Amino acid sequence: MKTAFNVFTGNFDIVGTSGGGGGGSSNVFDLIMGAPDRIALFTYADFGTKNQRVTNINYSSATYASFTVNRDFAYTLVGNRYRRDSETWSLDSV
């Protein structure tokens, strides 16, 4: 399978089919997030404290083992509490 970045939608696409045939493209993000065997690996900052927060989630699927969808969170310390400022999605290929 080939991957391509679609400049019109901003998506990474898998071109062709898993069987090697031609025809069509599928959004890698949608394939991984909709896979029945999808797993999520959480990374925490300050685990076990009152400031515990998720900093990253990696989504993967054995069906699409060449790719991992990453969701990163950014926080700002305001007073004595953390405020989530943003989240960024990205795609890694192995």
Domains and CATH numbers, the chain: 2-93 (3.10.450)
Question: What is the band of 56 on the pLDDT scale with cuts at 50, 70, 90?
Answer: very high
Q: What is the pLDDT of residue 74?
A: 95
Share of the chain above pLDDT 90, in %: 45
Residues 34-48, buried b or exposed e (16+ Cβ, 10 A)?
eeeebeeeeeeeeee
Q: How confident is the model at residue 3 (pLDDT cuts 50, 70, 90)?
A: very low
Task: State residue 9's pLDDT score.
Answer: 52
